[in-house]
Amino acid sequence: KPCPLCDEAKEVLEPYKKRFILQEVDISLPENSSWYEKYKYDIPVFHLNGKFLMKHRVDIKMFENHLAKLELQND
């Protein structure tokens, strides 16, 4: 379905796309029903490295800080 909030989030994250892999999950699909039950009123939701990070809008400072920490750990 169209998701303007998701589109906006992807646009904000565009400059960082070479530093992480964006995996989109359509929570309306039957195989993602557990995500739907958890987040149906909170899209978009962001996880980084398997851990919840933020929801609704991208907090770019928070994202940058967490991404930088992950990059340091992996160096």
Q: What is the DSSP string of 53-71?
A: EEESS--HHHHHHHHHHHH
* The predicted structure's pLDDT at residue 59: 97
pLDDT in tens, 1-16: 688 999 999 999 999 9
With a cut of 80, say whether residue 75 has pLDDT above it.
no
pLDDT in tens, 19-70: 999 999 999 999 999 999 999 999 999 999 999 999 999 999 999 999 999 9
Domains of the chain: 4-73 (3.40.30.10)
> Whole-prediction pTM value?
0.85
